[in-house]
Copies of this chain bind each other. A is one copy, B any other.
Amino acid sequence: MTKRPEGRAPARPTIKAVAAAAGVSTAAVSQAVNGTGRLSEATRRRVLDTATELGWSPSASATALRRARTRTIALVVRRPTDVLGSDPHFSELITGLEGELAPRGYGLLLHLVADMAQESALYERLAAEGRIDGAVLTDARADDPRPELLRGLGLPAVLLGAPDTASPVPRVGLGQQGAGIREAVGHLLELGHRRVAYVAGPAELLHTRLRLHAFEERLAEAGLLPVAVRHSDFTERAAVGVTEELLALPDRPTALVFPNDSMAVCAIGTAQRAGLRVPGDLSVVGYDNLSLGRWVHPRLTTVDQQVQRVGAAAARTLLVGCGEDVPPPVLDGRPRLVVRESTGPLPSPA
């Protein structure tokens, strides 16, 4: 039991300590770690050695103040209900972001807000305090105020889930939302389905519109109309309600398409509870390729949109916007249908 008075700060070394230990000026130390200025190779090495020896890293606060750059990126999650809880979307996105940010010494500042007003206010505060260098904007809306806001604040940003039209900020991936849904509908049509219903996300989200449009378009190409379209939030509760409603329809749909996997799984449960077999009586398609879906019974047919890669691309885009010298993002993958067991041939009419 060492008697150490608590809270005794270990007094981290400063650039001054390193300079003294190496017998040079603080300027030399700075130049050594940043690779700037003109130092002899011998001096540079000696400085770097003493730096590691003392366990010194430049203070993030001081550097941030001097350079007006914090090496921090904001990710704000809007969470009107409890979406985050069930949605793997953000976890995957964060994984993708981190993979690119961390190696460059960047940090991810995470915030949760309830609505768009709070989100905008938060960006303004973060910008006013100079806490961040950029932001990842998720869930693009139809008339999204954020790109313009961030541009006004002088912060680079990247918008996820919007088509690549001209805009104040770059946009990344999730742009081919339609492709996955088209594939899913095509799959259902091939199986013989004619009465297909679509459960969409909140109407104000841009990707909701994109996917819905793709859904209707693909059906139209087969000369069909959706038997029903319902908007919902992303909650499991909504999934259950909508499913019950759709199953009670006079011309009951034989296939349901959902905007995420959690909802699809709940829908399967609801159908089973109502005495229907999946996919015998009802086919169900999800979205996201949540790993859970591979193991439930029946295994879930879903759309994999590779959120992780999108996150990585978004991070790269932002880093470029921050003046970092990184290879530009490449985003090859597009959403792809993963066919498993929750979809099957049209039930033969009794």
A residues at B contact (CB < 8 Å): 6-10, 12, 55-62, 64-65, 68, 70, 72, 75, 79, 82, 84-86, 88, 90-92, 94-95, 98, 102, 107-112, 124-125, 127-131, 151-154, 235-237, 239-240, 262, 265-266, 268-270, 272-273, 290-292, 294-297, 299
Contacts and interface: CB of A to CB of B under 8 A. Distances in A.
A132 B295 CA distance: 40
A346 B127 CA distance: 61
26 contacts: A10-B153, A10-B154, A55-B124, A57-B128, A59-B65, A60-B129, A60-B131, A61-B70, A64-B64, A75-B110, A82-B291, A85-B92, A85-B290, A86-B291, A98-B112, A107-B109, A107-B111, A107-B131, A108-B110, A109-B109, A109-B110, A236-B294, A265-B295, A266-B295, A268-B297, A270-B297
A239 B85 contact: no
A127 to B, nearest CB: 8
Contacts of A90: 91
A68 B59 CA distance: 10
Contact of A292 (B7, B57, B95, B262): B262
B110 A110 contact: yes
Contacts of A9: 154
Contacts of A98: 110-112
A82 B91 CA distance: 10
A128 B265 contact: no
A111 B105 CA distance: 11
B291 A151 contact: no
A95 B56 CA distance: 34
A61 B59 contact: no
Nearest to A72: B109
A57 B131 CA distance: 11
Contacts of A79: 95
A295 B59 CA distance: 50
B95 A129 contact: no
A205 B71 CA distance: 33
Given A90-B91, A262-B292, A296-B265, A60 B273 contact: no
A269 B296 contact: yes
The 6 closest A-B pairs by CB, nearest first: A269-B297, A266-B295, A61-B64, A57-B128, A60-B129, A61-B65
Contacts of A125: 57
Contacts of A8: 154
